[in-house]
């Protein structure tokens, strides 16, 4: 059985892999993030689902799906990053005034008299803003969240539900990033962004340290011989960088191959890897994979990936609905899995590469491969999800 038709894709094996680079995500920062996040009320590891039927269909030995749909009730792995960075920011601000506050203190509102005057802000295509809004509500500060033209009303409402002010601005995600930065500078707010740029790296580093909890759980949950390949979707590169750093910590030199997969319409990581330096993707049509619709890389994440990723791929939108449907219905006896539009890029990369002899050879992707995929979101836009998984008439 072929999961997907033979659609066009691009593959760039990363010649820069292994070249020494600056450490972007240190182990101590991860240990702090893990201790904090696992102490939050409602914390539970998300499931790692074994999909042997899909593995058979793809002609590989094993396939694991780390299902982030249930993360803290927010629907995506992003719950780990933005909210954690909000807590860190509040704790640091209080520390500067001589006050020591744990996440539990903040959540209990012990310093609310001070923290409610603090405003955090960010741009989002949905999931990150939801996490920042949730963190602001949980830890008692104010949030103003910027969304661009094409973010759905459903996603906007999901952010507003956590008490944040949501502002819609013209243009793209990258325009919203700039607008959040400008307004924050004018108003004395703090940008809690999931992307880093020159002069702004501390908070996005906290965000990525939070994401590492997802990979840490998955590696601990994996049973049998270790995975050989990780296919991770890329927006600005934050989650792929977090997985890369965690794989290096967990597996050392024998770590699995890591392949970063982006929509071919928003391939800033791919282009940057080809050139060797941050390079934007040119303006063009939108992608269904809203969480991956990023035209510019996070500089920290790109540094990490340039030294650690094995390859970069760019895949077409046409594969999204078929991949979501295959997961939803379950292949060959597998359980059904709810995967949103931005969660399936890794599976698309795997399926296209596995069925292309040159790509499969370049990635060492053969019948013995054991692949771990990160289902980074569930149905975060339920209407769109229902439309895409509906059987085509
Ligand atoms: C569901 C989902 N998966 C993956 C990503 C990509 O993450 P990053 O931008 O850190 O590369 C996003 C980003 O918003 C997302 O929402």
Is the Cβ atom of 239 under 6 angstroms away from ligand 1? yes
Q: What is the spatial distance between Cα 169 and Cα 126, in angstroms, rounded to a whole number?
A: 14
Distances (CA, A) of 225 to 49, 113, 219, 360: 16, 52, 11, 20
* CA-derived radius of gyration, the chain: 20
Nearest to 327 by CA among 314, 312, 313, 346: 346
Residue 75 backbone dihedrals phi, psi, to 5 degrees: 95, -5
**Predicted pLDDT at 2:** 65
Is a pLDDT exceeding 60 seen at residue 1?
no
Q: Whose CA is nearest to atom 14 of ligand 1?
A: 291
Nearest to 311 by CA among 106, 2, 6, 16: 16
Distances (CA, A) of 292 to 115, 202, 228: 32, 22, 24
For range 213-222, the mean pLDDT = 98
Q: With contact defined as beta carbons under 8 Å apart, do 85 and 192 qualify?
A: yes
Give the list of residues 6+ apart from residue 214 with CB closer than 8 angstroms, or none.
46, 66, 68, 71, 77, 80, 239, 242, 243, 374
Per-residue model confidence as pLDDT tens digits over 359-372: 999 999 999 999 99
Tokens, residue 274? 């080809």
> How do strand 190-191 and strand 165-169 relate by DSSP bridges?
unpaired
For range 29-47, the mean pLDDT = 97
Is the Cβ atom of 376 under 6 angstroms away from ligand 1? yes
Distance 71 CA to ligand 1 centre (A): 14
**Predicted pLDDT at 21:** 72
For range 145-157, the mean pLDDT = 92
| Per-residue confidence band for 392, with pLDDT thresholds at 50, 70 and 90 | low
For range 368-392, the mean pLDDT = 94
Distance 291 CA to ligand 1 centre (A): 5
Q: Mean pLDDT for the chain?
A: 95
**Predicted pLDDT at 331:** 96
Distance 234 CA to ligand 1 centre (A): 6
Distances (CA, A) of 238 to 76, 195, 207, 224, 391: 14, 7, 8, 28, 33
Is the Cβ atom of 125 under 6 angstroms away from ligand 1? yes
Q: With contact defined as beta carbons under 8 Å apart, do 342 and 376 qualify?
A: yes
For range 309-320, the mean pLDDT = 98
Distance 31 CA to ligand 1 centre (A): 22
Q: Which atom of ligand 1 is nearest to the CA of 294?
A: 9
**Predicted pLDDT at 366:** 98
Is the Cβ atom of 235 under 6 angstroms away from ligand 1? yes
**pTM of the entire structure?**
0.97
Q: Whose CA is nearest to atom 12 of ligand 1?
A: 291
In the set 50, 66, 67, 78, the catalytic residue is 78
Q: Which atom of ligand 1 is nearest to the CA of 242?
A: 10
Q: With contact defined as beta carbons under 8 Å apart, do 318 and 351 qualify?
A: no
Q: Whose CA is nearest to atom 16 of ligand 1?
A: 291
Is the Cβ atom of 233 under 6 angstroms away from ligand 1? yes
| Per-residue confidence band for 223, with pLDDT thresholds at 50, 70 and 90 | very high
In the set 50, 103, 125, 174, the catalytic residue is 125
Residue 46: is it exposed, middle or buried by C-beta count within 10 angstroms (0-12/13-18/19+)?
Answer: buried
Is the Cβ atom of 122 under 6 angstroms away from ligand 1? no
| Per-residue confidence band for 284, with pLDDT thresholds at 50, 70 and 90 | confident
Distance 293 CA to ligand 1 centre (A): 9
**Predicted pLDDT at 55:** 98
Question: Is 125 labeled as catalytic in the residue annotation?
Answer: yes
Is the Cβ atom of 310 under 6 angstroms away from ligand 1? no
Q: What is the spatial distance between Cα 361 and Cα 266, in angstroms, rounded to a whole number?
A: 26
Q: What is the spatial distance between Cα 145 and Cα 147, in angstroms, rounded to a whole number?
A: 7
Is a pLDDT exceeding 80 seen at residue 146?
yes
Q: How many CA atoms lie within 13 A of 159 on its CB side?
A: 32
Distance 240 CA to ligand 1 centre (A): 9
Q: What is the spatial distance between Cα 393 and Cα 391, in angstroms, rounded to a whole number?
A: 6
- N- to C-terminal Cα distance for the chain? 21
Neighbours of 120 (CB within 10 A): 27
Q: What is the spatial distance between Cα 248 and Cα 84, in angstroms, rounded to a whole number?
A: 22
| Per-residue confidence band for 297, with pLDDT thresholds at 50, 70 and 90 | very high
Q: Whose CA is nearest to atom 13 of ligand 1?
A: 291
Q: Which atom of ligand 1 is nearest to the CA of 127?
A: 16
Which domains are assigned to the chain? 10-77+204-389 (3.40.50.1100), 82-193 (3.40.50.1100)
**Predicted pLDDT at 172:** 87
Is the Cβ atom of 278 under 6 angstroms away from ligand 1? no
**Which of 195-199, 258-262, 349-353, 370-374 shows the lowest mean pLDDT across its residues?**
195-199
Is a pLDDT exceeding 70 seen at residue 307?
yes
**Predicted pLDDT at 61:** 98
Q: Which atom of ligand 1 is nearest to the CA of 340?
A: 1
Is a pLDDT exceeding 60 seen at residue 173?
yes
Is the Cβ atom of 343 under 6 angstroms away from ligand 1? yes
**pLDDT > 70: what percent of the chain?**
99
């Amino acid at each position: 059985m072929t999961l997907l038709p033979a659609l066009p894709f691009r593959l760039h094996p990363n010649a820069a892999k292994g070249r020494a680079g600056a450490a972007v995500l240190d182990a101590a920062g991860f240990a702090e993030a893990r201790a904090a996040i696992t102490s939050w009320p409602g914390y539970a590891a998300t499931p790692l689902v074994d999909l042997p039927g899909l593995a058979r269909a793809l002609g590989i030995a094993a396939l694991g799906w780390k299902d982030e749909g249930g993360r803290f009730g927010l629907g995506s792995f992003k719950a780990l990053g933005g909210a954690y960075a909000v807590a860190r920011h509040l704790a640091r601000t209080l520390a500067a005034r001589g006050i020591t506050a744990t996440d539990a203190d903040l959540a209990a509102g012990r310093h609310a008299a001070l923290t409610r005057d603090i405003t955090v802000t960010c741009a989002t295509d949905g999931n990150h803003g939801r996490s920042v809004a949730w963190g602001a509500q949980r830890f008692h500060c104010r949030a103003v969240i910027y969304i661009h033209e094409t973010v759905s009303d459903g996603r906007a409402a999901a952010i507003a539900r956590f008490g944040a002010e949501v502002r819609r601005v013209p243009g793209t995600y990258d325009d919203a990033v700039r607008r959040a930065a400008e307004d924050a500078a004018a108003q004395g707010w703090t940008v809690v962004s999931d992307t880093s740029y020159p002069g702004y790296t501390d908070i996005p580093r906290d965000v990525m340290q939070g994401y590492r909890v997802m990979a840490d759980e998955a590696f601990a949950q994996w049973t049998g011989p270790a995975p050989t390949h990780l296919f991770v979707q890329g927006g600005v590169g934050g989650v792929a960088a977090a997985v890369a750093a965690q794989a290096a910590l967990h597996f050392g030199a024998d770590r699995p191959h890591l392949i970063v997969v982006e929509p071919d319409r928003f391939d800033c990581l791919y282009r940057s890897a080809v050139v060797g330096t941050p390079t934007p993707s040119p303006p063009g049509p939108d992608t269904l994979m809203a969480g991956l619709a990023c035209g510019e890389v996070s500089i920290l994440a790109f540094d990490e990936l340039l030294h650690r990723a094995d390859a970069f791929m760019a895949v077409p939108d046409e594969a999204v609905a078929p991949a979501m449907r295959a997961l939803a219905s379950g292949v060959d006896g597998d359980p059904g899995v709810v995967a949103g539009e931005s969660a399936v890029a890794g599976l698309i990369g795997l399926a296209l590469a596995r069925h292309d002899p040159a790509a499969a050879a370049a990635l060492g992707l053969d019948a013995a491969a054991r692949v771990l995929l990160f289902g980074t979101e569930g149905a975060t836009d339920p209407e769109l999800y229902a439309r895409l998984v509906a059987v085509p008439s």
